[in-house]
Amino acid sequence: MNYLAHAFLSNNNTNLLIGNFIADHLRGNNFSNYSPEIIEGIYLHRKIDTFTDSHERFKSSKRLFYKDFERYSGILIDIYFDHLLAKNFSNYSTIHLKEFCDNVYTIYSESEQLLPKSSSNFLDYVIKNNIYYEYSSIAGIEKVLFHLSHRIKHNVMLNDSIAIFKLHEKELEDNFKLFFNDAVKEFMKG
In this model, does residue 190 exceed pLDDT 90? no
Burial class (CB in 10 A: 0-12, 13-18, 19+), 160: middle
Q: Give the pLDDT score at 173.
A: 98
Cβ–Cβ under 8 Å, residues 49 and 2: no
Q: Give the pLDDT score at 156.
A: 87
pLDDT, tens digit (0-9, with 9 covering 90-100), for 85-120: 999 999 999 999 999 999 999 999 999 999 989 899
Domain containing residue 165: 3-187
pLDDT, tens digit (0-9, with 9 covering 90-100), for 30-62: 888 899 999 999 999 999 999 999 999 999 999
pTM score of the predicted model: 0.94
In this model, does residue 153 exceed pLDDT 80? no
Q: Domains in the chain: how many in total?
A: 1
Q: Give the pLDDT score at 162.
A: 96
3-state secondary structure of 10: coil
Contacts of 110 (CB under 8 A, 6+ apart): none
